[in-house]
Amino acid sequence: MEIAIIGAGGVGGTLGRLWIKKGHQIMFGVRNLQSHNVRNLIRSTDSGVKVGTIGEAASFADVIVLAIPWMAVEEAIKSAGDLSGKILIDPTNPINADLTGLIIESSTSAAEEIAKWAKGSKVVKAFNSIGAKTLDNLQFGLVRADAFICGDDFKSKTVVKKLATEIGFDTVDAGPLINARVLEYLALLWIQLAYSRQMGPNIAFKLLTRAGGA
């Protein structure tokens, strides 16, 4: 599968390296082709990883990961060009500067705003409630970390679930895109536990169920 990753930071770089190992073709889209993150990314992969502008990367693939800070997302979408029919994976969180709350109204979510900006795309919220450092090892004893995934298009969610499973997640279908509002608060809880409560970033969420669902 051809996957574009917008951004070359911790989350995007790690997802890209993991998917390259699974045989996917990855292209990173960045604003600055000479940035420190891009140079480190190229050095850390020996697979001839592609790097280009945001527009070039968006044209390259039908699956696009917006692995950039929330405040940069709207500009990146404008730079990406026509995104009609493409799957946009949104791992962003609109967290305020002191990491205590969200900078977005409770009547919407980052994912829903992205869907408004990227008309015709299929937005799927995923990979937002875990840290970049944990993505390299999703096994916790006998259980695997969960990837909570929501979106309005069933086929697109199926694609994202497969990509998540390939790198070691169990997946939980969290319903329609409106539930991104809940997942973004779940990410806020993760941040509070990891940093304010000093548990560190090597933590993850797991949904436990009983046999038969009762």
The CA-CA-CA angle for residues 83, 91, 76, to 5°, reads 40
The answer, yes or no, to whether residue 44 has pLDDT greater than 90, is no
Alpha-carbon torsion angle 29, 154, 122, 109, nearest 10: -100
Share of the chain above pLDDT 90, in %: 86
The single-letter DSSP state of residue 151 is E
What is the per-residue pLDDT across 68-116, written as a single tens digit (0 to 9) for each?
999 999 999 999 999 999 999 999 999 999 999 999 999 999 999 999 9
Q: What's the one-letter identity of residue 199?
A: M
Residue 214 scores a pLDDT above 60 = no
Residue 212: what pLDDT?
Answer: 72
Instruction: For residues 79 and 81, give the distance between their C-alpha atoms in angstroms, rounded to a whole number.
Output: 6
Q: What is the pTM of this model?
A: 0.94
Q: Which residue has the tokens 């993760």?
A: 190
Based on its alpha-carbon atoms, the radius of gyration of the chain, rounded to whole angstroms, reads 16
Asked whether residue 45 carries a pLDDT value surpassing 70, the answer given is no
DSSP 183-205: HHHHHHHHHIIIIIS---S----
Q: Domains along the chain?
A: 2-207 (3.40.50.720)
pLDDT > 90? residue 47: no
Phi then psi for 163, rounded to 5 degrees? -65, -35
